[in-house]
Structure 1
Amino acid sequence: MLRIVEVDNPKRKCSFIDFAHDHYATDPHYVPELYIAQRDHLDPSKNPYFDNAKAALFLAESNGKVLGRIAVVDDVIFHRHAERDTGVFGFFESIDDERVSTALLDTASKWLASRGLKAMEGPYHFSTNHSCGLLVDGFGHAPSLMMPYNKDYYARLLEQYGLQKKTDVLAYRIQQEDFPERLRRSLPMLEDRFSKAGIKVRPINLRQFESDVRMTLDVYNQAWSANAGFAPMTDREYLHAAKDMKLIMDPELVLLAEKDGKCVGFSLTLPDANQVFRKIKRGRLLPTGIFHLLFGRRNISSVRILALGVLEKYRRMGIDAYFYARTFEYVNRHPSYRSGEASWILEDNAEMNNAILKMGGQEEKRYRFYRMPLR
């Protein structure tokens, strides 16, 4: 008999995390998240996101077997800044059975409605500042770092329930050899322009990591404020996320533009550690996963451009083009990097999409945000 149970103890929390590993056991493109990272992300005592949010996790079970899972979130900052009276669902996984997906989504809807919310959107894990969206095109490719992956029938299950497309976001692949040489050659000219304007671009300094990260927070919250579903990050939440990234960070790929000691733009690119994580069985570092983590990064062949933002006042100076050119100039020199993924980009952001196409980018994956009124 099918039943939905709330995750209310450590055993069920473990089942919630482990279900994905079993569900994708034969899928060659699935990449397990590190167990310790996912456990901490779901833990209100360790993740400062929960300073302003309340979540519930649910499992679908039948005869002792887990058939699906879902999370729901009431995020105060999200419905204050992004979507009023809207709750979020995420971490959705289900076997290909409409009874199971409907039971999970019904439970999510009722939980959100009980808190006075009028609409539901997602999937976000837990917000658009985290892994988000449903993969709807590009199933022949493994996901890049911090990007989602799912079964190809999930869109059908969500749409059968009544969820409708809110927007799509895109992931572009840029091969090292396709990046225009003219942009790399523009670096000295742009540096001269910046120097005359009192702007300096430098890599992040890992010895002053926290202060450098805090410098970029205002840029992040301002530059992304118009994005679909965006909610600003708090200082605690932002620093927490940055510390997780520091473990795999290549400082030459994290660039800060400064003027008069203030950050006016930054770009964040990380080695695609998913190429290492996919070899770590069930996301467990012990007994052997730790060795993949320690020694595997030297063979990573791709990077992911996660974020690139410039304050409005400085957007016509070529800082964004400089970030891309300097990043790929470094990729070109690096012994193992061969390509980069730029993700995610809103489908209706014509300026950004056109810029990436001109840099040799090709659309590789498409993700969808869904929304529906609560019944």
Structure 2
Amino acid sequence: MWQVLPVNSKSQLKAFIDFPHALFKGDPNYVPELFIAQRDLLTPGKHPFHEHSTVQPFLAYEGNKVVGRIAAVLNRNHNQTNHQNDGFFGFFDCINHQEVANLLFSQAAKWLKEQGAETMIGPVNPSTNETCGLLVEGFDSPPVVMMTYNKPYYLDLLERAGLTKQVDLIAYQFTEHYNERPFRMTKILEERLERKGIKIRPINLKKFKEEAAKLREVYNQAWDKNMGFVPMTPQEFDYMAKDLKMILDPDFCMVAEHDGEIVGFSLSVPDINQVLINVKNGRLFPTGLLKLLFQKKKINGLRIIALGVLENYRKLGIEACFYGHAMEEFKKKKMKVAEASWILENNTLMNQGLLNMDAKPYKKYRIYEKAI
């Protein structure tokens, strides 16, 4: 009745990318992924992830109708960095039918086991440097840019298939009525940092390529102790930076320099999902591009997407200055809502810091695992 087949053609890849549009039809919180971006992400030769790793997508069919999808991911950089034999799954979407879900997970696990993997972890699409995590709390609003969304029943599908929680990822929300008290110290903190030779400044878009190379070094060092972290290759970081530059507002991207060397950075981006939610089936042509151009100025949301400081420079107030600048610009540009995401549940320093700023934990995402 059901069958799961590997994706081996352009038409199958198109069906793989488009399946969620039919599954989520009528869901007011569903934001379609851009077709071009998903196609390139999943195509060897188009995205640098494939230079070191392998992604094998699968489709579940009932007759000729697609009823589910999954991708098995062998991330060789992850295994080399963390000395593991892990496999991953991602891009999971499925009708509410346990047998279909079981077949998809079984097929992904079989493929991963053939590659030598001993565990299956996910969802990651295709790594923790991209979108990842299953939404388990906070279904009452759309996801912000580069965050995932799924039906509540996915939780049961995964757990009944034998997957168990590895870790939760928390998303925090600030509204326009945020408590300004914690940010009033920003100027004093900056003056104190400057006396130590540390300067906070906006990113220099005129030297973007040079800045991005320095930011990658900080990113790979500042996040290296996070669960399952995989350093980004120069090609991967450049690819992501090029994409982000298209929506970047330099007022929301700050760096910390010590004697001219970048020791930390924060990146916040306008929530482009407020526009993409109205782009039918993720197609920019013929009308999606116009929506993107004309509605971009109406965006009133922000995602604080990354904030990292080298270990020797932590607890000096740099992180507080980054948040202070972001919220100052948030207020100046009359934005309504900001999300800080994602934060590992066991990252006590970051979680407590956000709670101290009266940020509200409002969405929770989960990474699952299973021995195979």
Fold match by TM threshold 0.5: yes
- 2:219 maps to 220
Residues 21-80 of structure 1, C-alpha deviations (whole Å, 9 max, x = no match): 111011110000111111111111111011110110000011110000000111111112
- 1:24 maps to 24
User: 1:125 deviation in Å?
Assistant: 0.2
The residue type equivalent to 2:338 in the other structure is G
List structure 1 segments (4+ residues) > 3 angstroms apart after TM superposition: none
- Whole-Å separation in 2 of the counterparts to 1:367 and 1:83: 25
- Whole-Å separation in 2 of the counterparts to 1:253 and 1:161: 42
Confirm or deny: 8 A CA contact 2:173 2:361 kept in the other structure.
Answer: yes
- Whole-Å separation in 1 of the counterparts to 2:26 and 2:62: 22
- 1:95 maps to 95
Out of 349, 352, 355, the residue aligned to residue 353 of structure 2 is 355
User: 1:146 deviation in Å?
Assistant: 0.3
User: 1:140 deviation in Å?
Assistant: 0.7
- 2:41 maps to 41
- 1:135 maps to 135
Confirm or deny: 8 A CA contact 1:202 1:256 kept in the other structure.
Answer: yes
The aligned runs of 1:177-256 (5 Å cut-off) are: 177-179=177-179, 181-256=180-255
- 1:105 maps to 105
Confirm or deny: 8 A CA contact 2:68 2:100 kept in the other structure.
Answer: yes
The aligned runs of 1:217-366 (5 Å cut-off) are: 217-335=216-334, 337-366=335-364
- 1:368 maps to 366
- Whole-Å separation in 1 of the counterparts to 2:122 and 2:220: 20
Confirm or deny: 8 A CA contact 1:135 1:149 kept in the other structure.
Answer: yes
- Whole-Å separation in 2 of the counterparts to 1:31 and 1:15: 17
User: 1:217 deviation in Å?
Assistant: 1.1
Confirm or deny: 8 A CA contact 2:54 2:74 kept in the other structure.
Answer: yes
Unaligned 5+ runs, structure 1: none
Bigger drift between 343-352 and 75-84 goes to 75-84
User: 1:192 deviation in Å?
Assistant: 1.1
- Whole-Å separation in 2 of the counterparts to 1:320 and 1:82: 27
User: 1:141 deviation in Å?
Assistant: 1.4
The residue type equivalent to 1:368 in the other structure is R
Confirm or deny: 8 A CA contact 1:102 1:161 kept in the other structure.
Answer: yes
The residue type equivalent to 2:220 in the other structure is N
Residues 243-278 of structure 1, C-alpha deviations (whole Å, 9 max, x = no match): 111111101101111112211000010000000000
User: 1:198 deviation in Å?
Assistant: 1.2
Confirm or deny: 8 A CA contact 1:173 1:341 kept in the other structure.
Answer: yes
User: 1:297 deviation in Å?
Assistant: 1.3
Percent identity over the alignment? 45
User: 1:304 deviation in Å?
Assistant: 0.3
The residue type equivalent to 1:364 in the other structure is Y
Unaligned 5+ runs, structure 2: none
Bigger drift between 7-16 and 213-222 goes to 213-222
Bigger drift between 107-116 and 33-42 goes to 33-42
User: What SS does the aligned partner of 2:68 have?
Assistant: strand
User: What SS does the aligned partner of 2:71 have?
Assistant: strand
Confirm or deny: 8 A CA contact 2:183 2:320 kept in the other structure.
Answer: no
- 1:155 maps to 155
Confirm or deny: 8 A CA contact 2:251 2:329 kept in the other structure.
Answer: yes
For residues 204 and 257 of structure 1, do their structure 2 counterparts lie closer, same or farther at Cα, with a shift above 3 Å needed? same
Query: Aligned-residue CA RMSD in angstroms?
Result: 1.0
Confirm or deny: 8 A CA contact 2:60 2:104 kept in the other structure.
Answer: yes
User: 1:182 deviation in Å?
Assistant: 2.9
- 1:69 maps to 69
Bigger drift between 58-67 and 189-198 goes to 189-198
- 1:59 maps to 59
- Whole-Å separation in 2 of the counterparts to 1:317 and 1:366: 29
- Whole-Å separation in 2 of the counterparts to 1:163 and 1:216: 35
- Whole-Å separation in 1 of the counterparts to 2:44 and 2:241: 18
